[in-house]
A and B are shown apart, each in its own frame.
Chain A
Amino acid sequence: MQVIDIGNDFYHRLANRDETQGDGFNNAVMFREKYLKEFDNEEEWQNGNKSIKFDFVNVTKIGPSFANEAFAYFTKYKNATPANILKKFIFTNISNVKLLIISKELESGYNPK
């Protein structure tokens, strides 16, 4: 399984949703396109068995906007429930706060109000 050290390979401050938000650098859209492109189709969420591991050891923070755009984006696919997403995207060395932020965004993306 592929393991990505986000802090070193991408950036330590995960804050911006896209190029229009914040300083626009190292945003969630870029992140998704770099690491999660192969998950961006219905087939993968129906029958696929790919997964990817993200190591958060060098990440200082992840903001809700980033988490929403990078991970909750996939809730648009039929089988992409928050639980299934967390099975395919495995987070290691992640703090409780970071995991809480990601889980909240997954729930909010899955249950539109």
Chain B
Amino acid sequence: MNTKQKKYFIKKQKKRLKRKLKLSFYKKKIFKKNNKKTKKTRKISKRQLIYLERKEILQELYKKFNYSEKNFVISISNELGLEKNGNRDYYLNIASQIIDFNNKALIFDLEKCSKIWPSGITLLCSLKKWVELSNRFSINIKRPRIASTSPRDNKVESYLSHCGFYDYVGRPYVSQLSKHYSEDDIVKIKREEAKSKFELKDIVENRENEIIELLEKHSTFDVEQIELFNSVILTEIINNILEHGITYNDQGWWILAQHHETTKIISLCIADNGIGIRNSLTTGPQKEDILKKKIPNNPFNDGKFIEMAMNENVSGSTKAIKKEKEYLIFYNYPKGSRRGNGLSRIKESCIELKIPLTILSHNGYLFQDIEGSIDSGSKSNRVFAGTLYQLNIPAK
């Protein structure tokens, strides 16, 4: 090899080396970029994982049902509602029979029914929605038939049409039926249909305004008490149901409010069709802390989980904050903003405003009286297909 050839060879090698270096530089860059991307996707996927887990819970729930057993007739021979203390056991008993029914047809015998309270109407709407969603979560389910006989008492049928229930379930009725009731006494139940978040914003505000108008007309509250109710109780309950409802055909939540002159209450029912409080808590970011509390994670402890959710800093949100290490051994929540205070704020404000509060969530129930005493428990079957907040607001 002569000197010229040598020089040429060295030049070529240098060029090759440069190319290699350039390539490795770009490779590193791409690798870094990819790494950043994977970190991002990991962050997103944590939330997505929670959503997937929650979807699986629903699928598991629906798996139990094939709606193939013989027709089931259930007789309602009393008042159906949580509004009066004396009716609660009857309500829970009926609810536990109908929500988890697995028959080809469910027929309500309403002949001897004397009254259906707003909480009863909300229960029936949750059942209707549960059945409607069955095809979404389980393949090859033949939807069951739900029907009812006409009540002997004209007022019951009249109320079913007046409160919006017949419209909700799509049952035709004579419009004159609702003449017994005043339009000023009610915020009717309906399908909250919103095609976009913008529409949802207006719907939420309109429904809140309707409730506040009803309170201004009929409640015993003064201006400040109404403001407290609106800011804390109404806002936090609506935030909860909008976050946890399953949104498909319609928004997966309902509101029904009714002024009852004789019992001097405004019954307010706000509900969603979600996976329930226990399932939210045990699938969210706080699940490890929550499961450490040694309450077995099964439907028979739904009541205990509702009670736990009433404490501060307990949250089923996908963005809940976990405890951090403090002083070597102790764990505590970091200072600053944090989720999980919604239910505890609702609880405190209900005591302050002397509002008895009821929460039903799948198999669990919790009753809080005006002094804050709590009675909670669970049934072997579900008592609500989702979560219901029912409040008895003192009225004139």
A residues apposed to B, CB below 8 Å: 13, 15-18, 20-25, 28, 60-65, 68-69, 72-76, 95-98, 101, 105, 108-110, 112-113
Residues of A within 8 A of B236 (CB): 63-65
Query: Are A63 and B231 in contact, with the CB atoms below 8 A?
Result: yes
Closest to A110 in B: B335
Query: Are A22 and B239 in contact, with the CB atoms below 8 A?
Result: yes
Residues of B within 8 A of A22 (CB): 204, 235, 238-239, 242-243
Residues of A within 8 A of B338 (CB): 68, 109, 112
Is B317 an interface position by the 8 A CB rule? Answer: yes
Query: Are B341 and A23 in contact, with the CB atoms below 8 A?
Result: no
C-alpha gap A41/B298 in the complex (Å): 44
Task: Select A68's contact among B197, B318, B337, beta carbons within 8 Å.
Answer: B337
Chain B binding surface, main DSSP class: helix
Given A61-B227, A65-B342: A18 and B319 interface contact (C-beta under 8 Å): yes
Residues of B within 8 A of A108 (CB): 312, 341
Q: Which of B232, B238, B317, B337 has the most CB of A within 10 A?
A: B337
Query: Are B318 and A20 in contact, with the CB atoms below 8 A?
Result: yes
Query: Are B227 and A76 in contact, with the CB atoms below 8 A?
Result: no
Residues of B within 8 A of A105 (CB): 341
**In residues 218-248 of chain B, which contact A (Cβ within 8 Å)?**
224, 227-228, 230-232, 235-236, 238-239, 242-243
- 13 more contacts with CB within 8 A, not counting A23-B242, A98-B227, are A15-B238, A17-B239, A18-B319, A21-B239, A24-B197, A61-B227, A64-B232, A74-B336, A101-B232, A109-B335, A110-B335, A112-B335, A113-B332
**In residues 190-229 of chain B, which contact A (Cβ within 8 Å)?**
197-198, 200-201, 204-205, 224, 227-228
- The 3 closest A-B CB pairs, nearest first, are A76-B336, A63-B235, A73-B337
Given A72-B337, A73-B336: A16 and B239 interface contact (C-beta under 8 Å): yes
B336 to chain A, nearest CB (A): 3
Task: Select A17's contact among B238, B334, B339, beta carbons within 8 Å.
Answer: B339
Closest to A97 in B: B227
Closest to A74 in B: B336
Closest to B235 in A: A63
B residues apposed to A, CB below 8 Å: 197-198, 200-201, 204-205, 224, 227-228, 230-232, 235-236, 238-239, 242-243, 312-313, 317-319, 332-339, 341-342, 345
Query: Are B334 and A76 in contact, with the CB atoms below 8 A?
Result: yes
Closest to B348 in A: A104
Could you show 9 A-B contacts with beta carbons less than 8 Å apart? A28-B337, A61-B227, A63-B239, A64-B235, A65-B239, A68-B338, A75-B335, A75-B336, A98-B231
Closest to A11 in B: B201
A11 to chain B, nearest CB (A): 10
Residues of B within 8 A of A73 (CB): 336-337
Closest to A17 in B: B339
Residues of B within 8 A of A76 (CB): 334-336
A69 to chain B, nearest CB (A): 5
Residues of B within 8 A of A17 (CB): 239, 337, 339
Task: Select B231's contact among A23, A74, A75, A101, beta carbons within 8 Å.
Answer: A101
Residues of B within 8 A of A23 (CB): 197, 200-201, 204, 242
Query: Are B235 and A15 in contact, with the CB atoms below 8 A?
Result: yes
Residues of A within 8 A of B198 (CB): 25
B200 to chain A, nearest CB (A): 5
Closest to B199 in A: A23
Query: Are A61 and B335 in contact, with the CB atoms below 8 A?
Result: no
Given A13-B205, A25-B201: A113 and B313 interface contact (C-beta under 8 Å): yes
Query: Are A20 and B337 in contact, with the CB atoms below 8 A?
Result: no
B63 to chain A, nearest CB (A): 28
Q: Which of B227, B230, B231, B317 has the most CB of A within 10 A?
A: B231
